[in-house]
Amino acid sequence: MSFEISQRDVLGRIGTFETKSGKLETPALLPVVNPLAQEISPHVMFERLGCKALITNAYLIRRRAGNAEVTNIHDFLDFPGVIATDSGAYQILRYGEVEISPLEVIQYKESVGTDIGVILDLPTGSRASKAHATDTVKETIKRADEAQKAITRRDIAWVGPIQGGTYPDIVAHSAREMAKRGFDIYALGSPTEVMEQYLFADLADMIFAAKMNLPSSAPFHLFGAGHPFMLAFAVALGCDLFDSAAYILYARRGRYLTSGGTMHLTQMEYFPCRCSLCARRTPNEVRSLPLLERTQFLAEHNLSACLQEIETIKESIVEGRLWELVEARCRSHPSLLEGLRRISEHKSHVICGAPSTKRKGIFFFDSTSLQRPEYVMYLERLVRDYERPKAATAVLLMPATRQSPKDKASMRMELTNVDRGAHVCLYSPPYGLVPSELADTFPFMHTEIPGEPDPETIKAMAETVRIYLANNIAYRSLVVIHSNKHWQTRFARFCGNICRGMGLGFSCHSDHKLPNPPIEELGNHRKHPNKAVSKKLIRKKS
């Protein structure tokens, strides 16, 4: 099965997956359709909502309809788009077992002509002990081997489920074993309960544990994720496919889904949506509808909100603004923000997968933006790849100004003349140190920032200076130029503390005296351990 990726941003991607019923563009959300009872028919989903794919439960169809009655699942559901079939894992989680064997699942899916088929796995669940999680992975791998032997139709895309619950090491093992078996799609099982409890940091760990051990050339499906407010987060972590019954389950409880969270119909005065339904009615009118009609209204709006969010996400990938969208969405619930911050523990994976440059600049809001891949890559390159000028023994660190390039060049020349040993570097939030020769490169000159960075960002900038100096022990002193802006004086103070801790010379100077700096002061490091270096910084009085 071919999966072509056309656009990327963060770890999200826009791709096209070939199925026997046509192309499926990802990211995609497949609504869960109960084969026997539907508030919105699959036909309406396809025609009115533009829904190109759905997922249904093969186990329920077989149990209620029997083998002989369904020969073509597209006709049975009256849906011409892509149909995926789950196998009964949810029923196992809920009732303990299903009355169908792993081999029968394969045979049945092949006989009804599903486009995408999930093999029968044994879900771990989120409250399982480690021993039980290990057992479910072992059993799922055994079933995967049996399934591979039983599969006769290669025009169906087969899904290999990853189990292991909330134990990242077991999830990683499960993913490695599934990857060896060469499935067309990989899916992370058991996250539904984790998401219901809003444990998005744990969810991030589970997703990274799986993704790091799977081929990036195959789509990655996150089972049970279907609330619009968390889809951008999941796409940014590399999830391509989603399936969910959230649209109908929430509707039955009178809940109205938005990309900012869940609202209660009973408490609403306005609809924050202009879909074809919401534009025609007020919450008050919907409240007065009979129960079934009210549920249908909410279900259709909820599904529409999910599909709308997928389009918003895709456009943000095209625009190179997925991270900005994720930051905005993560402000809708503290747990989601916690999930976003967990990315800092998976930096190496983020660096490997995200694009290293962009056509557009990036927006930096506050310390949450310190997790964004472009910033993490800048740090990595500064520490791992950058080679300082051989003759440099001191760092002259000055704020990047918004003056014209000509002004900056003359100021830089003035400062460079201080001493041949002074290496001119710039700082501007969130970048604590950028060698001046790299000042025009991405992302340094392409970052929009607020006027005053938050305290955590200033600390992170100073930490960059510390790491840089620790990695380049030939520097013996640091000179920081700053304006009278509060954050710059604070940054200079942090840098001073760092130098004292490392036994390096330090001085700082207000920039209103530039471009004619008091040269003697710049090199006045009385406490400097290496007098020879100090001398080099002092230009002779003329």
Long-range Cβ contact pairs of 143-147 (< 8 A, separation 24 or more): 143/102, 143/119, 144/119, 144/177, 144/178, 144/181, 144/183, 145/181, 146/102, 146/103, 147/102, 147/103, 147/105, 147/106, 147/119, 147/120
Name the CA dihedral angle for 397, 403, 408, 411, rounded to a multiple of 10 degrees.
-70
Report the nearest approach of Zn ion to the CB of residue 206 (Å).
31
Cα–Cα distances in Å, from 254 out to 166, 247, 406?
31, 11, 62
Tell me the C-alpha distance between 422 and 488, whole Å.
Answer: 20
Handedness of CA 357, 219, 210, 243 (dihedral sign): positive
Tell me the C-alpha distance between 527 and 503, whole Å.
Answer: 9
Catalytic residue among 86, 184, 240, 419: 86
- Residue closer to Zn ion, measured from CB, 45 or 100: 45
Q: Name the region of 431 (left: φ>0; alpha: ψ -120 to 50; beta: rest).
A: beta
115 catalytically annotated: no
Cβ atoms of 475 and 394 within 8 Å: the answer is: yes
Ranges assigned E (strand) in 174-273: 185-188, 220-223, 241-244, 255-258, 261-264
Report the nearest approach of Zn ion to the CB of residue 303 (Å).
10
Complete DSSP assignment for 25-90 = EESEEEEEE-SS--SS-HHHHHHTS---EEEEEHHHHHHHH-TTT-S-HHHHHT--SEEEEE-SHH
Q: Report how far apart the first and last C-alpha atoms of the chain are (Å, whole number).
A: 76
Complete DSSP assignment for 278-310 = TTT--HHHHHTS-HHHHHHHHHHHHHHHHHHHH
- Residue closer to Zn ion, measured from CB, 242 or 271: 271
Report the nearest approach of Zn ion to the CB of residue 300 (Å).
8
Within 13 Å and on the Cβ side, how many CA atoms surround 354? 29
- Residue closer to Zn ion, measured from CB, 29 or 236: 29
- Residue closer to Zn ion, measured from CB, 201 or 278: 278
In 367-471, alpha helices (H)? 373-384, 405-416, 455-471
Q: Is 303 exposed, middle or buried (0-12, 13-18, 19+ CB in 10 A)?
A: buried
Tell me the C-alpha distance between 111 and 408, whole Å.
Answer: 71
- Residue closer to Zn ion, measured from CB, 221 or 301: 301
- Residue closer to Zn ion, measured from CB, 275 or 467: 275
The separation between CA 115 and the C-alpha centre of its own chain, rounded to angstroms, equals 28
- Residue closer to Zn ion, measured from CB, 259 or 534: 259
Cβ atoms of 221 and 241 within 8 Å: the answer is: yes
Tell me the C-alpha distance between 92 and 89, whole Å.
Answer: 5
Report the nearest approach of Zn ion to the CB of residue 326 (Å).
23
Report the nearest approach of Zn ion to the CB of residue 329 (Å).
18
Q: What count of other Cβ atoms lies within 10 Å of the Cβ of residue 298? A: 25
Binding residues (CB under 5 A) for Zn ion: these are 273, 275, 278, 301
- Residue closer to Zn ion, measured from CB, 263 or 273: 273
Report the nearest approach of Zn ion to the CB of residue 277 (Å).
5
Report the nearest approach of Zn ion to the CB of residue 272 (Å).
8
The token pair that represents 350 in the structure block: 């983020």
Handedness of CA 273, 276, 282, 288 (dihedral sign): negative
Report the nearest approach of Zn ion to the CB of residue 259 (Å).
11
Report the nearest approach of Zn ion to the CB of residue 279 (Å).
8
- Residue closer to Zn ion, measured from CB, 93 or 275: 275
Report the nearest approach of Zn ion to the CB of residue 301 (Å).
4
DSSP state of 387: -
Name the CA dihedral angle for 196, 197, 201, 203, rounded to a multiple of 10 degrees.
-40
The tokens 């471009």 sit on which residue? 515
Backbone angles phi, psi at 25, to 5 degrees: -85, 135
- Residue closer to Zn ion, measured from CB, 294 or 347: 294
Catalytic residues: 86
